[in-house]
Chains A and B, each alone.
Chain A
Amino acid sequence: MLARIKEFLGLGAKPKEVSEEPKEVVSKEEVEKVAEEKTKPRIGYIHLSGCTGDGMSLTENYDILADLLTDMVEIVYGQTLVDLWEMPEMDLALVEGSCCLQDEHSLHELMEVREKAGLVVAFGSCAATGCFTRYSRGGQQAQPNHESFVPIADLIKVDCAIPGCPPSPEIIAKTVVAVINGDMDYLQPMIDLAGYTEACGCDLQLKVVNQALCTGCGTCAMACQTRAVSMTNGRPEVNSARCIKCGICYVQCPRSWWPADRIKKDLGL
Chain B
Amino acid sequence: MVLGTYKEVVTARSTDKQIQKVSQDGGIVSALFCYALEEKLIDGAVVAGPTDEFWKPAPMVAMSADEIIAAAGTKYTFSPNVLMLKQAVRQYGLEKVGTVAIPCQTMGIRKMQSYPFGVRFLADKIALLTGIFCMENFPFVSLETFISEKMGISMELVEKMDIGKGKFIVETQDDVLTIPLKETHGYEQAGCKVCLDYVAELADVSTGSVGSPDGWSTVFTRTEGGETIFKAAVEAGVIETKPVNEGKFGLEMLTKLATQKKEKAMKEIDKRKGMGLPVPFKASSEKEDPLANV
Residues of B within 8 A of A162 (CB): 117
B228 interface residue (CB < 8 Å to A): no
Which A residues touch B112, using CB under 8 A? 219, 222-223, 252
Contact A207 B116 (CB under 8 A): no
Given contacts A223-B112, A267-B202, contact A218 B82 (CB under 8 A): yes
Residues in chain B near residue A258, CB distance under 8 A: 107, 111, 280-281, 294
- Give the chain B neighbours of A216 by CB distance below 8 A: 78, 80, 137, 189, 191
A35 within 8 A of B: no
Using Cβ atoms and an 8 Å threshold, which residues of chain B touch A222? Answer: 82-86, 108, 112, 119
Q: Is the CB of A248 within 8 A of B117?
A: yes
**Does chain A have a CB within 8 A of B105?**
yes
A256 to B108, CA, bound (A): 10
The reply on A137 being an interface residue by CB < 8 A is no
Q: Is B92 an interface residue (CB 8 A)?
A: no
Does A100 touch B at the CB level, under 8 Å?
Answer: no
Closest to A260 in B: B294
Stretch in B61-69, B164-172, B192-200 with 4+ CB within 8 Å of A: B192-200
Q: How many Å lie between the Cα of A254 and that of B80 in the bound state?
A: 13
CA distance A263 to B77 in the complex (A): 27
Instruction: Report the count of interface residues on A (CB-CB < 8 A).
Output: 53
* A51 contacts the other chain (CB 8 A): no
Chain A CB within 8 A of B73 CB = no
Q: Are A168 and B120 interface neighbours, CB within 8 A?
A: yes
Interface positions of A from 255 to 269, Cβ below 8 Å from B: 255-264, 266-269
Contact between B139 and A234, CB atoms less than 8 A apart: yes
Is the beta-carbon distance between A213 and B111 smaller than 8 angstroms?
no
Within 8 A of A (CB), among B43-90: 59, 77-78, 80-86
Asked, given contacts A216-B189, A218-B105, whether A168 binds B223 with beta carbons under 8 Å apart, the answer is no
**Which residues of A sit under 8 angstroms from B83, Cβ to Cβ?**
218-222, 231
Any A CB within 8 A of the CB of B4: yes
Task: List, in ascending order, chain B residues with CB within 8 A of A125's CB.
Answer: 118
B279 within 8 A of A: yes
Given A222-B119, A260-B294, A262-B114, verify A215-B223 contact (CB < 8 Å).
no
How far in angstroms is the closest Cβ of chain A from B200? 12
Question: In the complex, how many angstroms separate the beta carbon of B277 from the nearest chain A beta carbon?
Answer: 6
Given contacts A213-B191, A216-B137, A258-B280, contact A267 B78 (CB under 8 A): no
> Do B108 and A219 touch (CB < 8 A)?
yes
> Across the interface, which residues of B come within 8 angstroms of A234, CB to CB?
77-78, 80, 139-140, 189
Instruction: Given A168-B116, A171-B115, A211-B278, decide whether A221 and B104 contact each other with a Cβ distance below 8 A.
Output: no
| Selected contact of B110 from candidates A212, A215, A221, A267, CB within 8 Å | A267
Let me know if A256 and B280 touch, CB within 8 A. Answer: yes
State whether the Cβ of A204 lies closer than 8 Å to any Cβ in chain B. no
By the criterion CB–CB under 8 Å, are A164 and B107 in contact? no
Q: Which residue of A164, A169, A207 is within 8 Å of B278 (Cβ)?
A: A207
User: In the complex, which residue of chain B has the Cβ closest to the Cβ of A231?
Assistant: B80
Does chain B have a CB within 8 A of A251? yes
Query: Quick check: is B128 within 8 A (CB to CB) of the other chain?
Result: no
Which of B59, B83, B110, B277 is most buried by chain A, counting CB atoms within 10 A of its CB? B83
Does A103 lie at the interface of the complex (its beta carbon under 8 Å from any beta carbon of B)?
A: no
Please tell me if the beta carbons of B279 and A171 are within 8 angstroms of each other in the complex: no
Contacts of B5 in A (CB 8 A): 264, 269
Residues of B within 8 Å of A260, CB to CB, are 292-294
Q: Report the minimum CB–CB distance from A127 to chain B (whole Å).
A: 13
Contact A217 B104 (CB under 8 A): yes
CB atoms of B117 and A269 under 8 A apart: no
Contact of A266 among B114, B117, B224 (CB under 8 A): B114
Q: Is A163 an interface residue (CB 8 A)?
A: yes
**Given A231-B83, A234-B77, A269-B202, A168 and B108 touching (CB < 8 A)?**
no
In the bound assembly, the distance between CA atoms of A225 and B222 in angstroms comes to 31
Q: Do residues A233 and B107 form an inter-chain contact, with CB atoms below 8 A?
A: no
A174 CB → nearest B CB, Å: 8
Question: Which chain B residues border A217 with CB–CB below 8 Å?
Answer: 80-82, 101-102, 104-105, 107-108
In Å, the complex CA distance between A222 and B119 comes to 8
- Extra contacts, 6 of them, besides A162-B117, A223-B112 (Cβ < 8 A), are A168-B121, A212-B193, A218-B105, A252-B119, A259-B111, A269-B201
Subset of 12 A-B contacts with CB under 8 Å: A215-B104, A215-B189, A218-B59, A221-B82, A222-B82, A223-B118, A234-B189, A251-B118, A253-B108, A258-B280, A267-B202, A269-B202
B interface residues with partner A (beta carbon < 8 Å): 4-5, 59, 77-78, 80-86, 101-102, 104-105, 107-121, 123-124, 137, 139-141, 189-195, 201-202, 222-224, 272, 277-281, 292-294
Q: Give the 4 A-B residue pairs with the shortest CB-CB distance, closest first.
A: A218-B80, A234-B78, A219-B108, A218-B83
